[in-house]
Structure formats: C-alpha cells, structure tokens
Amino acid sequence: MKSANLVIALTKGRILEETLPLFAAADIVPTEDITKSRKLLFDTNVETVKLMVIRGSDVPTYVEFGSADMGVAGKDLILEHGSDGFYEPLDLQIAKCRLMTAVPVTDQTDSDVLKVATKFTNIAKHYFAEQGRQVELIKLNGALELAPSLGLADSIVDIVDTGKTLKANGLEPKDLIADISSRVIVNKASMKIKNAIIRDILSKLSTAVKAK
Ligand code: PRP
C-alpha cells in the first residue's frame, strides 16, 4: 500500500528563505526552486512529502483544518489566529522580531479611548483588555505607520525588526507585546495518524535549529 502524503505548508517571502535550509538539514528538499516558481504545491526528494507555499496568515487555517499536516508560521500570525486548533511543537528561531505598540515621537495623547491601528486586531484587543485600557481598534492591512500622522489613530500595533520603518515615519516603539519567531505547527489528527514521520521531521528540524 502506498503511504499517505504528508503536506507541509510554508510561509512565502522572507521566512521561506530561512526555512528551506532547515528543511534541507532535515532531509526534505524541493525538487525545483520554489522561491522562483509560481506554483503553490511542490514535490520533494521524499516521495510522500509535499510542500505548499502560501501567505503566512493562511498557514494556521490550512493546518487547523488538516489540508496541511504541518506548517511554518510566524508567532504573530499564530497568536492572531488562535492556537487551539493545532500543536506548536517547535520554535525554529528564524525571522525573529518583536510585536510592539508604537506612537508618534511627539506623542501627547491623553484621551480616555486610544485609537489603535493594526492588522493584529485579536492580539491588540486581548493586550489592551489585559492592560485595562479602553481602545478603538482600526483594522488596516498595511502602511500602518501612516495612520498616526494622518490622524487615523493615536498608536499602532505592528511588527518591529530594525525599527527603521517606525523611525522613517516619525514613530517610536513603546511597549513590547510579544517576541516573535517562526514556529512549526502540526494538525492534531495528523500528529496521531502520521506520528512516525512527523516525529522524525521534528527531531531533525530541532537538531538543525540547535546546530545553527
Ligand atoms: C513589517 C512591518 C513593518 C516592517 C518593520 O512589514 O509591518 O512595516 O516590517 O521592519 P523594520 O523594523 O525593520 O523597519 P513587512 O515588510 O514584513 O511587510 P508587511 O507590511 O506585509 O507586513
């Protein structure tokens, strides 16, 4: 009997370039250059293992519903999605950055209700509730850094890496919400049904992470 396929959903973009060497160290190598192709599903050197390359925000959804058995996604997107629907067994320690609040350098806001622009509305809602702070959340999908200078928001919640984007837009980081890195997530049913191969890949990935 032919064994079932194992589908791994990878996040496209910058994370992918750091992810592929770790999978190569775990003996999983795509049979073509996936950073250059427009295809979304790729064969690998292991006949039963396929790689999907999708937007990071969709990885938790594919893994939760089992269309992908495993995935690699940023902790920011995992927190935003909610992680009840899958396991999160391994921190790949790549694509490290911080999820922070940021305000204009000239911040003088003293209103009771803070207007916060972010694409991470679930995280922000939870964070400000824990702080006991009343906020009005404004959902944006990009160019958040413009929102304060155009009067749309008092503050933003976004990813900060070098801090250059904030600085270039007259903002400064304020409070740390979470340290971010890319994590491996695993569908709960797949972990039972395909345990041997998943354990093997996780173990090799873990060795590759430690060796870095
Ligand atoms: C992220 C984030 C900031 C920027 C921060 O955007 O939203 O805009 O990186 O990086 P820095 O601190 O080094 O300046 P990204 O380029 O990942 O694209 P996105 O807007 O699609 O999230």
Domain boundaries, the chain: 6-95+181-211, 98-179
How many Cβ atoms are within 10 Å of 44's Cβ, its own excluded?
Answer: 19
- In a mutational test of the pocket of ligand 1, which residue from 165, 169, 177 has the highest number of ligand atoms less than 8 Å from its CB? 165
Instruction: Evaluate whether 95 touches 182 at the Cβ level (below 8 Å).
Output: yes
Pairing of strands 155-160, 114-118: parallel
pLDDT at 3: 59
Q: Whose CA is nearest to atom 19 of ligand 1?
A: 142
Supply 119's token pair. Answer: 């694409």
Supply 192's token pair. Answer: 């039972």
pLDDT at 4: 74
Task: Establish how many alpha carbons lie within 13 A of residue 101's alpha carbon, considering only the half-sphere containing its beta carbon.
Answer: 20
Atom of ligand 1 nearest to the CA of 142: 20
The fold of the 98-179 domain, in CATH, is: D-Maltodextrin-Binding Protein; domain 2 (3.40.190)
The CA angle 182-183-184, to the nearest 5 degrees, is 135
Nearest to 90 by CA among 188, 196, 194, 186: 186
Sheet holding 6-11, edge to edge: 41-43, 49-54, 6-11, 70-74, 182-187, 86-91
Q: Ligand 1 centroid vs 45 CA: distance in angstroms?
A: 33
In short, whether 143's Cβ falls inside 6 Å of ligand 1 is no
Pairing of strands 86-91, 41-43: unpaired
CATH class of 6-95+181-211: alpha beta
Q: Ligand 1 centroid vs 101 CA: distance in angstroms?
A: 14
In short, whether 164's Cβ falls inside 6 Å of ligand 1 is yes
Supply 205's token pair. Answer: 């990935």
pLDDT (tens place) for every residue of the chain, 212 residues total = 455 799 999 999 999 999 999 999 999 999 999 988 889 999 999 999 999 999 999 999 999 999 999 999 999 999 999 999 999 999 999 999 999 999 999 877 777 889 999 999 999 999 999 999 999 999 999 999 999 999 999 999 999 999 999 999 999 999 999 999 999 999 999 999 999 999 999 999 999 999 98
Does the fold of domain 98-179 match that of domain 6-95+181-211? yes
